[in-house]
Amino acid sequence: MTTNPLVHEIIAFLEQDQLLRPHPLSTFHGAIVERDVHKAFLYLREGVEKALELASDPEEERFEELLATENYPLWWILDTEKSNIYKLINNDQLLSANYKDKNRQAEYSALQKQISELLQRSISSLGLSFPNDSSVLLEAVPYLEASLLACAFSRLFVGTQHPFFEKMLQVFFQGGWPYGWRGHYPEGDLFVFVPAKDYRASGVI
């Protein structure tokens, strides 16, 4: 169990089975909301295919083509922003010491396992609420896990100082799933999947 209260907030969110449980007061300012999980996942699949296409062609400069793209899956940004955190850690003696601390490393390893287990439980629960979408939700697990782990990593080492990961977390906490980006990052808006129905309010779950 993590002793970091900022990271514990993420764990508590999953333990309380709040993933993709929007409520009437949820707001998604600065986001493009998608209600169809199949469309959201199609967007992710197309992003994966594009990345594989770029990686397989040695004549292509993946990063340059990415910059020329206006819409792309969020995990492309996750990689860039996590790299920026690593750079920040390496350039800050205190952060570097915390990162290299064996207890802190062990805490992050435990977090990875805990988030993975809680996420699997949440997806199983969601499968009961979204029976027609359960297979798509299962395919989405690696993307959800990568996003939540990146947010936990950010909070563990730089607190709430990273605007991109904090924006993602607020979307998760309100019951949405940030899965893409429209615009030339860092300008632009999140694509967010939000279930079309509040299942808690309806008594379905």
pTM for this model (two decimals): 0.83
Q: What is the pLDDT of residue 170?
A: 94
Q: 8-12, 25-29, 70-74, 85-89: which has the minimum mean pLDDT?
A: 70-74
Position 200 confidence tier, pLDDT thresholds 50, 70, 90: very low
Where do we find the tokens 């009437």? 24
Each residue's pLDDT tens digit, 76-102? 788 888 888 888 777 776 666 666 667
Among candidate residues 177, 181, 175, 172, the one with its CA nearest the CA of residue 152: 172
Facing residues of 190 across strands?
31, 181
Position 205 confidence tier, pLDDT thresholds 50, 70, 90: very low
Each residue's pLDDT tens digit, 38-64? 888 888 887 777 766 766 665 555 555
Among candidate residues 81, 83, 96, the one with its CA nearest the CA of residue 163: 81
Is residue 19 left, alpha or beta, with left meaning phi > 0 and alpha meaning psi from -120 to 50?
beta
Residues in the chain: 205
Q: Is 79 helix (H, G, I), strand (E, B) or coil?
A: helix
Q: How many domains does the chain have?
A: 1
The burial of 182, by beta-carbon neighbours within 10 Å (0-12 exposed, 13-18 middle, 19 or more buried), is given as middle
- Measured CA to CA, the distance from residue 122 to residue 65 in angstroms comes to 36
Q: What is the pLDDT of residue 172?
A: 96
What percent of the chain clears pLDDT 70, i.e. is strictly above it? 75
In which domain, by residue range, is 26 found? 5-202
**What does the pLDDT average to over 136-146?**
82
